[in-house]
Structure 1
Amino acid sequence: MTQYSLPDLGWSAYFRAQVSPDDAARAVRITSVARDRLFVSGPDGNLTLLPPPKTSTAAFAVGDWGIMTADQQRLERVLERQTTLSRRAAGTSAETQLIAANVDTLGIVTSCNADFNQARLERYLALASGAGCLPLVILTKADLCENAREYVRQAERLSPLVTALALNAQAPDDVARLAPWCRNGQTLALVGSSGVGKSTISNGLTQAHLATQGIREDDAKGRHTTTARGLFRTVHGGWLIDTPGMRALRLAGTADGIDAVFDDIAQLARNCRFSDCQHDSEPGCAVQEAIAQGTLSPDRLVRWNKLLREDAHNSAALHEARAKDKAFGKMVRSVMQEKRRRNR
């Protein structure tokens, strides 16, 4: 049976400060989330736990730390997360979907071909910054590109927060360059489109063998996609979370992260004549002046405004949905109380 100490699993002073010594003895980390149960790892090995009573497993994320009951049958509570990766759920649902928790570095995987997309990268960078994770852009298929360094430069120009590297995911020595971000209990999460090489990187870092398929020549995308999230031990002593390919990443509650990624525009906006400047046609707009001088791309301003509008819309929708749920719950409780009163 595989057993890891709490520090091996990523336990730090942040989590230790939240518990008593007795609770720390029952601390576990969630490695996978199923429909009705949680898979965890701790000093006692790998265990399967039920969630707390009246709590759905949707409330938990891979990477969460929690305290289990003394009989090791159920998770008693989850600890406050150091970082939280989430998005607005796909479709028309006004819900937040957890992606992963307590991630140190978000590895944003794209490739040196048609998959490279600045707008998508900025979206993932805003997610990382809003969550408090270090962003790492991993450019795959470098061996199939004539000038991989140009893709690295494009990625690094998107934000001063970015570290980018190009590699061949099929080459063990190249994948080993990711070791600094997944050793000594550190957690690296991989996100990106399907077929860009996330599973191949995961194989190299964990020595696992996830099924992967070739690349379609017509669109430079792979056929394989990870279908479930899991926390896996890397050969470098840290942890890896490989997420399913995301067709849509809808941001919510990440306005600060967006401003951090677009810090050049945010800094310019502070010098506009009017505090409520829309950076369109107002006089004294420092942003438009930068565009006129050629120091700021107008497309970058468009992408910044688009992300801010989307984030505001999704955040408002989530807030409204929660308010409706709270009001409905209050009404149900009131009706039940009235029924009990009448039946006395």
Structure 2
Amino acid sequence: MSHQNLRYYGLSSCFEQEALLYPHLYLARVTEQHRTLYTVVTEKGEKQASVSGKFIYQAYDNTVFPVVGDWVMVSQLDNTEQPIVIEHVLQRKSVFERKAAGTQHATQVIVANIDYIFICMSLNNDYNLRRLERYLSIAWQSSATPIIILTKSDLCSDILSKLAQIETISVGTDILIVSMMDTDIHDKFSPYLHQGKSVVFLGSSGVGKSSLVNRLLGKDVLLTQEIGNDDSGRHTTTKRQLFVLPSGGIVIDTPGMRELQLDTGNLTKAFEDVEQLSFLCKFRNCTHTNEHECAVQQAITHGNLSEGRLENYRKLVKETQYAGLNAKQLEQAKVNNMFGSIGAYKKMRRQMKNKR
């Protein structure tokens, strides 16, 4: 079957070749994700789909289930009365995932197979460097390229100072400054929105993700909600959706994230300055607290590194240390972080027992 229509949705030769392994199935891309149903686009247009019973039986965790952006193999393409069936998810070239909100160990895959991650942060009350560091850590881990989008520039009176702060924590990352008053939105985004390229808009609720997608689409497809300068308000976007732009690029809009806990993250890339400084410390196992000749503390003293950035780095290191551990390993890691060793923990318990 010809895949010409799917090329508008980002189909590459890599996915096309992998699809040949399933000659009796049909290629499709997930464009919307619901509770148990999906919307997929095929050569014959959009269809409703569900995963097969065999897929559910063989799934070892939630991360293998389809998400928006996935390329999948489906059956029953000619049956229009019932949802078609997703039999396989093709290998993902990139994936943005986080630790599932409100859980201890589960991982939630947000989107897959994107080329760029647009991290949106407004320049008024949503502005938060520490949260931006979290997004960058996960984005660099995803195999996609992060781009920082600073929205609501018309509501900010000190853009240059905030831009200077962001540049200190985002080396190697492009930064776009936008406002809904801009008349050149398409020009600003054109370097990233080529035909076949997929991007996702991520960020807190109310920063203007859906409004930007509407501007790029040239029409009001997504519902937006006017909110105040404090960025308070309910989520406007309630589900992840994939759209093809008139220019040929593909965009995915997502609901705002209240929590962004790390499951894994590329701290080496997101905190390149801190990790490079650590190599200059006198001691290899330097904790960057009160050791002699600590290059990290010297950088803070000289104003080249902020205390807040170092503290956030330590916090994210601890979060990623716990990723993938079983219950026993998780408990031991937490004890080591709190007490230094299991021996020290047992000694503390004996002292507490004797005191009682």
Question: Which bin holds the TM-score, normalised by the shorter protein?
Answer: 0.7 to 0.9
Runs of at least 5 residues in structure 1 that lack an aligned partner in the other structure? 322-344
The amino acid across from 1:292 in the alignment is T
The CA deviation string for residues 261-318 of structure 1, in whole angstroms up to 9 with x for no partner, is 1101111112223322212222332222322333222221111111111222344369
The amino acid across from 1:62 in the alignment is V
- 1:124-135 maps to which residues of 2 (within 5 A)? 124-135=135-146
The one of 61, 65, 68 equivalent to 1:62 is 68
Aligned length: 316
The CA deviation string for residues 153-198 of structure 1, in whole angstroms up to 9 with x for no partner, is 3322212122111111354523552132222111110111111111
Could you tell me the TM-score, scaled by structure 1's length?
Answer: 0.83
The one of 209, 212, 225 equivalent to 1:213 is 225
> Could you say which residue in structure 2 is the equivalent of 1:274?
283
> Could you say which residue in structure 2 is the equivalent of 1:185?
196
Is residue 25–residue 75 contact of structure 2 (8 Å, CA) maintained in 1? no
Is residue 273–residue 284 contact of structure 1 (8 Å, CA) maintained in 2? yes
The one of 168, 184, 206 equivalent to 1:173 is 184
Is residue 27–residue 71 contact of structure 2 (8 Å, CA) maintained in 1? yes
The one of 269, 273, 294 equivalent to 2:303 is 294
The amino acid across from 1:296 in the alignment is L
Is residue 156–residue 163 contact of structure 1 (8 Å, CA) maintained in 2? no
Is residue 7 from structure 1 mapped to residue 19 from structure 2 by the alignment?
no
SS at 1:228 equivalent: coil
How many percent identity over aligned positions? 36
> Could you say which residue in structure 1 is the equivalent of 2:30?
30
The amino acid across from 1:311 in the alignment is T
* Cα 1:39–1:290 shift into 2, 3 Å: same
Q: CA shift at 1:204, angstroms?
A: 0.9
The amino acid across from 2:200 in the alignment is A
SS at 1:18 equivalent: helix
The amino acid across from 1:216 in the alignment is G
Root mean square deviation, CA, Å: 2.5
> Could you say which residue in structure 2 is the equivalent of 1:46?
46
* Cα 1:41–1:164 shift into 2, 3 Å: same
> Could you say which residue in structure 2 is the equivalent of 1:328?
none
Is residue 258 from structure 1 mapped to residue 267 from structure 2 by the alignment?
yes
* Between 85-94 and 107-116, the greater mean CA deviation after superposition: 85-94
Q: CA shift at 1:241, angstroms?
A: 0.9
The one of 128, 133, 141 equivalent to 1:122 is 133
Q: CA shift at 1:208, angstroms?
A: 3.5
> Could you say which residue in structure 2 is the equivalent of 1:79?
90
> Could you say which residue in structure 2 is the equivalent of 1:340?
none
> Could you say which residue in structure 2 is the equivalent of 1:337?
none
The amino acid across from 1:65 in the alignment is W
Is residue 170–residue 200 contact of structure 1 (8 Å, CA) maintained in 2? no
Is residue 281–residue 293 contact of structure 2 (8 Å, CA) maintained in 1? yes
Is residue 26–residue 69 contact of structure 1 (8 Å, CA) maintained in 2? yes
SS at 1:310 equivalent: helix
SS at 2:154 equivalent: helix
> Could you say which residue in structure 1 is the equivalent of 2:215?
204
Query: What is the alpha-carbon distance in structure 1 between the residues aligned to residue 183 and residue 72 of structure 2?
Result: 34
The amino acid across from 1:14 in the alignment is C
Query: What is the alpha-carbon distance in structure 1 between the residues aligned to residue 127 and residue 325 of structure 2?
Result: 31
Runs of at least 5 residues in structure 2 that lack an aligned partner in the other structure? 79-83, 331-356
Q: CA shift at 1:102, angstroms?
A: 0.6
SS at 1:180 equivalent: coil
Query: What is the alpha-carbon distance in structure 2 between the residues aligned to residue 260 and residue 163 of structure 1?
Result: 14
* Cα 1:117–1:175 shift into 2, 3 Å: farther
SS at 2:210 equivalent: helix
The CA deviation string for residues 105-146 of structure 1, in whole angstroms up to 9 with x for no partner, is 111111111111000101001111010111111111112223
Query: What is the alpha-carbon distance in structure 1 between the residues aligned to residue 147 and residue 46 of structure 2?
Result: 30
The one of 317, 321, 336 equivalent to 1:312 is 321
Query: What is the alpha-carbon distance in structure 1 between the residues aligned to residue 264 and residue 278 of structure 2?
Result: 21
The CA deviation string for residues 2-47 of structure 1, in whole angstroms up to 9 with x for no partner, is x962322112233234332764982111111222222111222112
Is residue 34–residue 239 contact of structure 2 (8 Å, CA) maintained in 1? no
Query: What is the alpha-carbon distance in structure 2 between the residues aligned to residue 48 and residue 318 of structure 1?
Result: 39
The amino acid across from 2:45 in the alignment is G
